[in-house]
Every structure is written in C-alpha cells, then in structure tokens.
A and B are shown apart, each in its own frame.
Chain A
Amino acid sequence: MKKKILIVDDDMDYLFQMRLKVEQMGFETITAESQAEAEKIILEIKPDLCILDLMMESDDSGFILSYKIKRKYPDVPVIIATAVTAETGMTFDVHADESTQWINADLFLDKGIRVDQLQREIKKLLKL
C-alpha cells in the first residue's frame, strides 16, 4: 500500500508544487492549507509522514502542529519545511530554549530543497 504523506502549507502554490513532487515519488498525499485544517485531518487520519510549513496562522503554527501530531502519533515522522533564514532565525530566538524539547520534529528542511534530497530524507524517515 502507498504511504500517506500529509502536507500542510498556507501558500496554495507551494502546497500544489510540493504535493506534485511527493506524488511523483510514488506516495499518496493529503493536503491542508492551515494549522486548523490539519488538526481536523489528524483526528481522523493517521498519516505515515508529515511535511509542515512553519509560519501559517501564527509564526509558530508548524511547531504547534508538530507537537500535536507527535502527541497523538509519536511514531509518525514530522518534517518542518521552512526558509531557514533571518526571518525564521527570529522565530527560533523568540522561543529560545524550550523550543527544542516540545516541538519534537524529526527534521528541519529548507524550502528550496532539491527533489532528490527531499526524496532521500523522506525514505530515510519512512525506513524504506
């Protein structure tokens, strides 16, 4: 059976492009455009992996979502995709030390990641 990947991003174009890339890798996808929508989805569906944007409704939506996913499904790998630049640097700063423990994400990826690298990371996390 195809593995199910949940992709959450509030930029509809990025979401569309990411969905396409992930589907071309041979995975099934579920998408959500907001933290709230993703929270509803995970109540009913257990994805095999999640790729989350960081800044959505709030600057740390991705962190909160990651925390909630991990609390419900500790074994589901979570990737936070973000532009690791000055703007996210600020977000990290805001949360300082506590951030590392509670976010619980498995991986941070730069949004500009190449498809082959993304595929390698997904496979590694899914132990394929």
Chain B
Amino acid sequence: MATYKILIIDDEPGIREGTKRILQNFKVDYPFMDEQIDFQVLEAGTGKAGIEIIDSELPEILLLDNKLPDIQGVEVLEYVKSKHYDIIVVMITSYASLELAVKATRDGAFDFIPKPFTPQEIRASVENITKQIFLKRMTQTLNNTGKQIRFQFLSVLSHELKAPLNAIDGYMKMIKERQFGNSVDAYDEMLDRSIERIKGMRQLILDLLDLTKIETGKPTQKLEIVDVRKIVQMAVDTIRPYAIQKDVDVYINSRESFEMKADPGEIEIIMNNLISNAVKYNKTGGRVDIFLEKKVDKIKITVSDTGIGLKTEDKEKIFDDFVRIKSSQTREVTGSGLGLSIVKKIVDMYQGSIDVQSEPDKGTSFIITLIEPEK
C-alpha cells in the first residue's frame, strides 16, 4: 500500500476538516496498479504556512484555495513551479474567471474544484490525479529502463478514455432520472449510443494492446516463415460479418501465396487494420480489393476500397496517433484513431513504405511495401 500526501491550504477550518474527513478512508486502485493508494492529509490555514509544509513534506497533491489571508493561491502555485516541485495542484475556487484559469493553468494547476463542493467532487478529482501521478511515475520508470512512452501520449490517451466515459455517464444519469418518462422506448437511442461508445472504448483498448506489443520492441519480435495469403484470409474472415452487414464485398485477388520472414502477429495487425478500415469507410454496396505481390525480398500489399476517400490535406495526418478525420460521413463510424499509426510503426520496423492514393467519394488505396528482414 502506497500513501500519497495531500496538503490542503484553505483559511476556512471547516473546509480543511471536511476534506480531511472525506479523504481519510478513501483508497484508489487502478487495473494496472498492483497496489492500492491511500492518503495522508496535511493542512495549512495560510499561504506561508502552506509553503513551509510544501518544503518539508513534499506532498504529491496540493488542494489550494485562491483567496488566502496572507498571499494569493496563485502565488503559492508560482512558488511550486519555481522550485520545480513535482506536485499536482488543484485550485479550489469559485471556478475560474478567465484570467485565473489561464494563469493558473499556465502555471501548472491541474484541475479546478468549484466551491461549494461535494465529497464526490473532491474524491473524483483526487482519484483522477492519483491515476495521473501513478501513470507519470510508471512512465518515468519505463523511460529509465529504456522504454519510451511519451507522457503526452498518455495525456491524450486519458482524454480519449474519458470522453466515452463522460458520454455514457451522461446518458446513464438521464436514464436514471427518467428524464423522458417511464417508457423504456424513449431511451433506446441513448442506450444504443452508450453501447456504441463502449464498443469504441473496447477497440481503443485492443489497439493499445497492439501498440504495446510494438512499443516493447524488437526483442519480442518473433520472426518465422509466414504464409501471407493465409494471414490476409484470416483478416478477411474476421471482418466478414461486418462487411456483410455493410453490404461490402471483399476480394483477395491473388490466388497463389508466397512466404516471407516476418512476425505473424505484426502482419496480422497490418492486415486487420487496413481491411477493416476499407470496409468501415466504404459505401453500401462497395467493394474492397486486396492484391499481394512479391519481388525478391520486397513484399507489396495493396488494399483498395470504393469508399469515401481522403482529401489531400488529410492524407498526411492519418498516420499520427489519435487522429480521426471528422466529417458527416465519418461521424457514425467508431474508431480509436490509433489503427493507422500502428500500421505505420510496424511498416517502419520492416524498413518499408506506405503510399496512399485517394480521391474523395471514389475510394482509397493503401500500398504497403515491406522488406524481408535478413536474419
């Protein structure tokens, strides 16, 4: 069990006492954590007393009122920043005037809790921060051991994970409060949307697992002789039910197969992503064509669709993490924004290249070239 220190700086004894009570027996755990985290609450009634405790105790989390009897809360925030302390600061305030919000956020405030607050709000904020600290420390540990995961990635990831949770949470509350009366029918669409968001989140988690496999890097790459057509066939079989539902035909246009030296898991990830995209972003009645070619040590895979296509300016963006092209045609399509960035990373591992040819409303072709590893 780890214990994080939380310092609350507020001139109202009632607020300090209340916060202490709220957090006393509060524990946070997280699927990735192998331990629970609880909290030790420290308190200060003035900014200066707070700074002394910050220096001596180095708390992990600071709950900071902006209106203090001696100095302003933002000054305490500036102090923390100037000392480069690794403390996550939450401003407790009648929430943020623009000026305060911008200043405090720029100086590193992580969150705002409006006054008056409920125990639930404090707990939710502390829980979020605890996870944030945990992830940050985990990232640091990973960085130290030579594995590179960007903190920025985790931040965006937390945003991507939070968005569907918020949406589902909102719908659940509406349903719980029977906002549209007692008939279940009135909530059908909300339930459908919630299910859709859960589906999206599941996909995101699956993509993350793929990404983890790649990011942990080459040592785990299992090179063997793989039958490329067989893997393509498997990917097509996986997507088939969805393709039927969307009335999209998928064709593999190479009767003969060939073998290459590769990690079968990686080739599978590439094919799954490209083929499922070709179906997802297709039109009703459309088709997907897959071509396979081998020239000496070069393998060329082409996946062509008759779908919505890409604008020229979007072609470069699609390989970045969490990028999804937003348009009226894609709004109903669920995706994590990670698929093609994963494909790109794998292709890079094979010293390969990706070429995108596309015309809006006509379709898109992804042409991938992989070079067979020598070993």
Contacts and interface: CB of A to CB of B under 8 A. Distances in A.
Contact of A110 (B95, B108, B174, B193): B95
B167 A14 contact: yes
Interface residues of B, number: 35
A114 B96 CA distance: 15
Contacts, number: 89
Contact of A106 (B98, B112, B132, B162): B98
Which label, helix, strand, loop or mixed, suits the secondary structure of the B interface? helix
A106 B197 CA distance: 32
Interface in B133-175: 152, 155-156, 158-159, 162-163, 166-167, 170-171, 174
Contacts of B95: 109-110, 113, 117
B129 to A, nearest CB: 9
Contact of A17 (B111, B128, B174): B174
Contacts of B102: 92, 99-100, 108
Contact of B326 (A10, A83, A84): A10
B167 A13 contact: yes
Nearest to A11: B163
Contacts of B106: 89, 92-93, 96
Interface of B: 95-99, 101-102, 105-106, 108-112, 114, 124, 128, 132, 152, 155-156, 158-159, 162-163, 166-167, 170-171, 174, 179, 193, 197, 326, 331
25 contacts: A13-B170, A13-B193, A13-B197, A14-B167, A17-B170, A17-B174, A84-B96, A84-B101, A85-B110, A85-B111, A85-B128, A85-B158, A85-B159, A86-B110, A86-B155, A88-B105, A99-B102, A100-B99, A105-B98, A107-B96, A108-B96, A108-B102, A111-B166, A112-B124, A113-B95
Interface of A: 10-14, 16-17, 20, 33-34, 55-57, 83-90, 92-93, 96, 99-100, 105-114, 117
